[in-house]
A and B are shown apart, each in its own frame.
Chain A
Amino acid sequence: MKATKWVTTAVALTLMGSVAVGCGKKEETTPTTSPNGTSGTATPAPSKKPQEIKINFSAEPPVMDSSKATANAAFTFISAFNEGLYRTDKDGKATPGLAKDFPKISADGLTYTIEIRDNANWSDGTPVKAQDFAYSFKRTLDPATKGQYSFVVAWIKGGEAVTKAKTPDEVKKAQDALGVKVLGDKKLEITLEKPVAFFTQMLAFGTFLPQREDFVTKAGDKYGAEADKVIGAGPFILSKWDHGQTLELVKNEKYWDAANVKLTKATINIVKDPNTGLNLYETDAADLAEINRDQLKLYKGKPDNLPKPELTNSYLMYQVKKQPALANKKIRQALGMAIDRQAYVDTVLANGSVPSTGLVPNGTSDGAGGEFRKTAGDTQPKFDAAKAKQLLADGLKELGLSALPKMKVNADDTDTAKKSLEFILAQWKENLGYVAEANPVPHALRIELSSKHDFDIALSLWGADYNDPMTFLDMWVTGGEFDEGDYSNPEYDKLVKAAQSETDVTKRAKSLVEAEKILMDDQGVAPLYFRTRAYLKKPSIDGLILPSFGQEWELKWTSVK
């Protein structure tokens, strides 16, 4: 019995020992000194505080190769360590980046002549040349690169021929015929297949960034995979990439505008869980963190709260061929008008998203110097339960039906999408007496069903690739690649196609506004909301931009007060 107690005591001591070992000493903190120093900075930082920030980031960038990138996560970093001919500023407008000035555009809107800055250098000091852009565009278009966004570069004359080339010889031949001319080391000429009014803006997009042939060749398959396998000519250098864990950006002293880059270091930690993200923010382990709707309530009205309005809309898409009832305009109008979007964003989303007032989200340019939503006004029919009921009755009468057929509404199986389905179906039941069936499915399945036009109604999201209404409006042209609901209106097609070849930007904007009005009157699709995401930012951080599309954040003009 005595020995039993002895053993008990021994194991208890072991237990305590193991806990003590586990606790260890308090962790050393990350060194606060800048790894590359700031001696080369032309203008001293306005604040004495270390110009360093820490950011929570929810995703591992898949690959930092501008030819292969598709995700915002990748474009965010690529745009930090590299730069295009243009860079998007805080207002979402293109400003000269590696280009000396805005392009000289020919009268037909097809040819862009651009001069590159004399002091534009790669981070190793090598001058940026026009050849670096020509090489980048050709590489992106080469089918062997497997670039998923090559279709945007294919707007350059002869681009599509490169993407469709079957053999290396054919690729080379097509690349040689591509509408990109190097007119000297610092001068580039790009010729387009047809006018693209927002092409200057497009040149700021990640897919159009320069690449160094010697570097890409040397890195081989690993190009864009590790910190030492990327090179750029942007405000920062990617100095560290611990996969799934941490990335570090340090100031690039060779950057042409280094004098205006205050930040010396940004540490980005991959944090997927929003609760952990908030915990890190609260313990000062992060200066910027994305939060969810429940967390947002805690920060309402506080200076930390930083909304990120996006050029992203959510909408219902109707498959008019599979469900002939949906080909009836009045029925589509009834379904759209029966949803109270204000209540939707207040109850389901509660993250700062706003009810839609048309298809094109707030903040989108009209392509003529203005904002599309202000130019077009509200084009979407307002919520009106009584009118919706009447429209449904009228529509059913036109079709000789007594009731709407049973239809499924496809959506993702995420928490938000499921709640959205619940809300929409409840609104239809309450306001129209119509009971539809919810069909939440995995994201990949919803996309597949939509691309096969195999659905009744689908709840979808679309984010802009460039700041122009065309990114939202050309989707619904008859037979268009993304017209998955088979909506068709010749008037609409005419207006969008006219805008696609119009070089007068005012006339173009007008055509697009008219097109949206038709689409909204037809309710070819029923927009629901314009998305906003909620972020927390320490008030001491200044000049941090949350762009509305393409990337998560922009640090070039950021500083610590």
Chain B
Amino acid sequence: MVKFILRRFLYALITLWLIASVTFVLMKNLPGNPLGEGAEKIPKATRDMLLKQYGLDKPLWQQYLTFMNNIIHGDLGASFQFPAHKVTDIIKQAFPSSLELGLISIVIAIVVGLTLGIIAALNHNKAGDYTAMFIAIIGVSIPSFVLGPMLSYYVGVKWGILPAGLWKGPSYKVLPAIALSFGTIAILARLMRTSMLDVLNQDYIKTAKSKGLASFTVVVKHTIRNAILPVITIIGPIFVNVITGTLVVEQIFSVPGLGKHFVSSVSSNDYTMISGLTIFYSSILIVVIFITDVVYGLVDPRIRLGKGGK
């Protein structure tokens, strides 16, 4: 087991190094320089001086070595866009909002999505199934950039039930969380339904029923437990996507999250921010994939016996 974890850790480091290197090459190929909004007005002499101070006049390989050296020492550098802030500070400031929004929305998505999936499977080809799948299809078809403004306008402005935007207290978090969870609800509902139907047709379910087990036990202990495996696999990556911020929902509801930084750092050539966010995002993804594997193993003991599981 220790060997397995160490090997996985090494793989994770190599993956991170590859991602950081590819990001470095790609961001250096972006047009323009990182001097920000006023850059077009800076006289050439000043511009050259600034680029020199940032070390951007050096050959690319030297810049790469400095970049890797800083990362190894845990220094993601100061943002070019926000010169008085370190990239780590910006992540620390923005990530909690994204995380909170993501967690709320994933809880909603899991509860609602799995419920719909289970209802649909247990009422296969009946009204319950059609209704649940209709909701799921709508969830997949309506993107958050449509649903978000609709919720903000109707629920926020027209009906005045909840705030139309901003991020100030519990009630402000409901609409963005719903907007963000809608797509995930649909994915989880459909996946859970398919998986449940698959399990319900298995021989061991029939055996369980013929042994006289109560239907409740059959459904909860045998069907849901086995049907949920593929769902757990997909929840990991979805979770990372959701908690690391979403530009669309955060922008629509003015949530001070990380989403906007992903886009603005690229459009403003904020090199340190681009690399910092990429490394942050990759690290979370790698950790979550690892945790998913472990959880998967816990739910299904057969997996623990697989390759490298000793």
Contacts and interface: CB of A to CB of B under 8 A. Distances in A.
A228 interface: no
A243 B93 contact: yes
A311 to B, nearest CB: 14
A24 B177 CA distance: 13
> For chain B, what secondary structure do more than half of its interface residues adopt (helix, strand, loop), or is it mixed?
helix
A119 to B, nearest CB: 31
B215 A18 contact: no
A71 B256 contact: no
A25 interface: yes
A440 to B, nearest CB: 13
Interface stretch (B8-16, B44-52, B63-71, B294-302): B44-52
A416 interface: no
A384 interface: no
A61 to B, nearest CB: 9
Interface string B145-187: 0000100110011001011111111111010011000000000
A449 B164 CA distance: 41
Interface stretch (B105-113, B227-235, B236-244, B282-290): B105-113
Interface in A5-52: 6-8, 11-12, 14-15, 18, 22-28, 30
Interface of A: 1-4, 6-8, 11-12, 14-15, 18, 22-28, 30, 60, 62-63, 65, 68, 70-71, 143-144, 146, 148-151, 163-164, 221-225, 229, 242-246, 269-273, 275-276, 279-280, 282-283, 285, 441-445, 447-451, 465, 481
A443 B31 CA distance: 9
Nearest to A226: B84
A143 B49 contact: yes
Interface string B120-153: 0011000010000000000000000000010011
Question: Interface size bucket, B side?
Answer: 35 or more
A18 B43 contact: no
By CB atoms of chain B within 10 A, which of A8, A11, A149, A441 has the most?
A: A11
A22 B101 CA distance: 12
Contacts of A149: 38, 42
B254 A273 contact: yes
A276 B252 CA distance: 6
A63 B83 contact: yes
Contacts of B33: 444, 448
13 contacts: A3-B216, A6-B215, A11-B114, A14-B115, A70-B36, A70-B38, A225-B82, A271-B165, A272-B254, A273-B165, A275-B252, A282-B164, A444-B33
B255 to A, nearest CB: 8
A269 B254 contact: yes
B152 A71 contact: no
A351 B61 CA distance: 48
B157 A15 contact: no
B94 interface: yes
A200 B177 CA distance: 52
By CB atoms of chain B within 10 A, which of A6, A27, A143, A225 has the most?
A: A27
Interface in B73-96: 78, 81-85, 90, 93-94
B257 A63 contact: no
Nearest to A279: B164
Contacts of A448: 31-33
Given A27-B163, A442-B31, A445-B32, 13 more contacts: A6-B216, A24-B170, A28-B169, A63-B82, A63-B83, A148-B50, A151-B43, A245-B254, A270-B256, A279-B156, A282-B157, A442-B267, A447-B39
B218 interface: yes
B122 A7 contact: yes
Contact of A8 (B31, B90, B119): B119
B30 interface: yes
A279 B256 contact: no
Contacts of B97: 244-245
By CB atoms of chain A within 10 A, which of B38, B104, B118, B214 has the most?
A: B38
Contact of A146 (B81, B83, B85, B267): B83
Contacts of A444: 30-33, 267-269
A225 B216 contact: no
Contacts of B157: 279, 282-283
B220 interface: yes
By CB atoms of chain A within 10 A, which of B93, B111, B220 has the most?
A: B111
Contact of A151 (B42, B114, B166): B42
